[in-house]
Amino acid sequence: MFDLILRRARLTDERQVDIALQKGKIAAIGDSLQGEAKSERDLAGRCYVSAGWIDSHVHCYPKSPIYHDEPDAIGVASGVTTVIDAGSTGADHIDDFYAITRAASTQVYALINIARTGIVTQNELADMQQIDGDAVQQAVERLPDFIVGLKARMSSSVVGENGIQPLIKAKAIQKQAGDLPLMVHIGNNPPDLAEIADRLSAGDIITHCFNGKPNRVLTPQGQLKASVQNAIARGVKMDVGHGSASFSFEVARVAIAQGILPDTISSDIYCRNRLNGPVHSLAHVMSKFFSVGMTLQQVIDCVTWKAADGLRLAGKGRLAVGFDADLTLFSVTDAPRLFVDSEGEQVVGEKHLTPLAAVVAGEWFLTEEGKANVFDL
């Protein structure tokens, strides 16, 4: 007997299917599924259903003095089933962070900062003594199901006088820690983007890929820089990481028009940019990409299977039998909405996404919008 059958769930390709969940997994998908279930819910095609949304760059260590939030405030409350904290903690605090996340309904993973302290100041990589490969390796060994990668912030305000040296150290630590994915934050130079991109290898992730700073991925003529083009050809991934200061409509528009699409759309959310903008939520960030040339399917792919594959999250990211019963229910509204990027550019979008519910391992969590829509779940 199934735990639940969702009837007439609307997929992003506009097909309607039944989805059966059992013991926290997707047990069956098809037309007019047969079999008994403890409960059934008929969506009647009223909303879309996708694999659970994954936000691959957030900051949700509640004790962080700079970038902090509560996992469920940026997770299930916003239709997001899985979040990956991007370097808020290093080896000194990762165990405490792990313990805190066990009480969350949202599934939380972490990229461990190569600096022991994590982000307790804006310049955690200005002191090379803070970078401890043995401590990172030991943390990964203690928490192999929690730590899914490494994080290094490679902008001038973070590295101080150390230039490219923290990244060289990060790549060595990566090998020491079992070749986990390395997410590298790009911002103001030095170091120059070319120095960073040339040292990245397949599976590494450039985050803030559409930032509008001088050290951006585009040349002044609007072409993709050769170093970034070469990195992408080697298998380096491009992550949005919107944040308070790292997303430009102009850069995204020009890049996407050339076929340079992000691999993952992430928010870089924390309490301040959630409450005051310009981030607000992952859905809000996703909606901005309709205005720069991406389709619904492309946007959803960037927060489902591409996010799962990029961070090697087994069992997540796909609506398929045997995968985790993580789902996001959402609507697409065709109506004008004002969006603002990190540079202050305002764009009136023609449509936007509204998350209605998150399902995590078969457990339901209605968003405020879902409750307002009188969703009987």
| Residue 311 to residue 317: CA distance in whole angstroms | 11
Strand, helix or coil for residue 17:
strand
Q: What angle do CA 292, 357, 62 make, to 5 degrees?
A: 85
**Residue 201 counted as domain residue:** yes
Kindly report the number of other CB atoms within 10 A of residue 340's CB atom: 15
Which residue is associated with the tokens 């309607």?
Answer: 16
**Residue 357 counted as domain residue:** no
Where helices occur in 161-288 by DSSP H, the ranges are 165-176, 193-197, 226-234, 249-257, 271-275, 282-288
Query: Strand pairing partners for 338?
Result: 348
**Residue 350 counted as domain residue:** no
- Note the pLDDT of residue 282: 98
- Burial class of residue 51, CB neighbours in 10 A (0-12, 13-18, 19+): buried
- Note the pLDDT of residue 192: 97
Q: What is the pLDDT of residues 258-277, one digit of tens each?
A: 999 999 999 999 999 999 99
**Residue 147 counted as domain residue:** yes
Is residue 86 within 8 A of residue 268, CB to CB? The reply is yes
This prediction's pTM:
0.98
What is the per-residue burial (b if ≥16 Cβ within 10 Å, else e) of 70-86?
Answer: bbbbbbbbbbbbbbbbb
Strand, helix or coil for residue 27:
strand
CATH of the domain at 165: 3.20.20.140
- Note the pLDDT of residue 373: 80
| Residue 371 to residue 355: CA distance in whole angstroms | 11
| Residue 234 to residue 115: CA distance in whole angstroms | 27
Which residue is associated with the tokens 């962080």?
Answer: 64
**Residue 360 counted as domain residue:** no
Range of the domain at 130: 51-310
Q: What angle do CA 302, 218, 263 make, to 5 degrees?
A: 10
**Residue 108 counted as domain residue:** yes
Look at the chain and report how many structural domains it folds into. Answer: 1
Tokens of 82: 């899985």
**Residue 58 counted as domain residue:** yes
Q: Print pLDDT tens along the chain (377 aa).
A: 999 999 999 999 999 999 999 999 999 999 999 999 999 999 999 999 999 999 999 999 999 999 999 999 999 999 999 999 999 999 999 999 999 999 999 999 999 999 999 999 999 999 999 999 999 999 999 999 999 999 999 999 999 999 999 999 999 999 999 999 999 999 999 999 999 999 999 999 999 999 999 999 999 999 999 999 999 999 999 999 999 999 999 999 999 999 999 999 999 999 999 999 999 999 999 999 999 999 999 999 999 999 999 999 999 999 999 999 999 999 999 999 999 999 999 999 999 999 999 999 999 999 999 999 856 55
By residue count, the chain amounts to: 377
| Residue 280 to residue 284: CA distance in whole angstroms | 6
Kindly report the number of other CB atoms within 10 A of residue 44's CB atom: 11
| Residue 146 to residue 135: CA distance in whole angstroms | 16
Max CA separation in the chain (angstroms): 65
**Residue 346 counted as domain residue:** no
Tokens of 318: 């796909």
